[in-house]
Structure 1
Amino acid sequence: MESRPPIVSTRRQLLTLVAVAASPGPLFGHPPRRIRAIAFDGFVLFSPQTIVKRAREVAGEKGDALVSAASGMLFGYTWYYTSARKYAGFDELAEDAFKSAAQSLGLNLSNTDLEQLVEGYSNLELWPDVPGALQTLRRHNVRLAMLSNLSERALMSNLRTNGVDEHFEFVLSTDAARQYKPSPKAYDLAVRAFKISKSEIGFAASASWDASGATWFGFPSIWVNRNGLPAEQAHAVPTVISSGMDGVLRLSGLQTL
């Protein structure tokens, strides 16, 4: 009997998000007939390496452990608040996560340290394959939006700093829904913005759980699996799985070569 790949823990998945981009891998899945728009999770486009660098600056050799612990806590906080039908902004939850993570590691971070870490989410760099893919999508009249748990301020800062803001029709933060993904209210922000059927809106996720949430909502979805993680078995299967933006082009029905 063929063995299944191990289920990767949430903490490990989040830790791998801070790694350098994985080597190109195969594409899986087939696109639907017609995609008129794509909504992107933030980390499909932006590398979290800036946050790692800042953590190393303030925590030294414990920097990577700080990011790992804080990411796991932040991930849990967004789900905890959403399931309890409560809400606090992303920056507030990120600061709380870094505080708790620092305490668990015996680190004494100043208010300035915490501000620099949280501000890292507004100073992210593009993955190398992003600019060309965005240009191709817009050249073929595919409408684009951001749909992220990050604040609108952070999203706008990242888009403008990297010179790709002109490609995006909408910048949608889950602040507007006051619920984090994978809440259906969060994904519905894209339907309300584009004013087209959800079956015509592709969703590009950086995490397996986000691709599953979008799939359950009714979006054709892609998991941009930059770090080659195995899918968790309990999740819905996205339309396409790829290691980079080539999969987004495939989801859109465009040539990738």
Structure 2
Amino acid sequence: MTKHQAPQIVDLMSSLPPHSEVTTALRKLADGPFRQVALTNSVMHVAEQQLRNAGIRELFDRVMSADSVRKLKPADVPYHAVATAFRALPSEVRLIAAHSWVITGALLTGCKAAFESHPGMVLSPIGRPSARHRRGQP
């Protein structure tokens, strides 16, 4: 990759649509008792742009970047940052992700986690999620 290609790739990544079930699932979660936070390893401006372009930014109460704490997921620091920002214990934080390494980091931090299964994504035997959802199941 050349230095000229890097901005083009970031632009493409910033305009990816969400998986087909994401918007509906986020709307259902918004009707529940939980505050919704997008925790990303992306820098903040890219994360905000991705969520806006995907049409789902308004479904999150807050967007947090692991970059702001200078430790990327799966390190425990980003998960603790979410708990601290909402004056919660890690055990009160619930994470949903389609990447097993993110699930493992959350579980090792003391959070609860659910694995969202997508084609090509495999759950790691290192961290077993608190819940698991397969596409097409309620």
* TM-score normalised over the length of structure 2: 0.88
What does residue 131 of structure 1 align with? 23
- Preserved contact between residue 174 and residue 180 of structure 1 (Cα < 8 Å): yes
Separation (CA, whole Å) in 2 of partners of 1:139 and 1:232 = 30
- Preserved contact between residue 208 and residue 223 of structure 1 (Cα < 8 Å): yes
What does residue 172 of structure 1 align with? 64
Separation (CA, whole Å) in 2 of partners of 1:228 and 1:119 = 24
Structure 1 residues 245, 142: closer, same or farther in 2, change over 3 A? farther
The structure with the larger Rg is: 1
What does residue 236 of structure 1 align with? 127
Separation (CA, whole Å) in 2 of partners of 1:167 and 1:245 = 21
* TM-score normalised over the length of structure 1: 0.49
Unaligned runs of 5+ in 2: none
Unaligned runs of 5+ in 1: 1-98, 100-108, 247-255
SS at match of 1:195: coil
What does residue 160 of structure 1 align with? 52
Listed as ranges, the matches of 1:79-228 within 5 Å are: 99=1, 109=2, 111-227=3-119
Separation (CA, whole Å) in 2 of partners of 1:147 and 1:230 = 20
Separation (CA, whole Å) in 1 of partners of 2:4 and 2:81 = 34
Structure 1 residues 117-159: Cα deviation after superposition (integer angstroms, max 9, x where no partner): 1322222211111111111111223210011101111111122
- Preserved contact between residue 115 and residue 123 of structure 2 (Cα < 8 Å): no
Structure 1 residues 49-100: Cα deviation after superposition (integer angstroms, max 9, x where no partner): xxxxxxxxxxxxxxxxxxxxxxxxxxxxxxxxxxxxxxxxxxxxxxxxxx3x
Separation (CA, whole Å) in 1 of partners of 2:106 and 2:75 = 9
Structure 1 residues 163, 188: closer, same or farther in 2, change over 3 A? same
Separation (CA, whole Å) in 2 of partners of 1:145 and 1:160 = 14
Query: Larger relative CO (CA 8 A, sep 6+): 1 or 2?
Result: 1
Identical aligned residues as a percent? 25
Aligned residues: 138
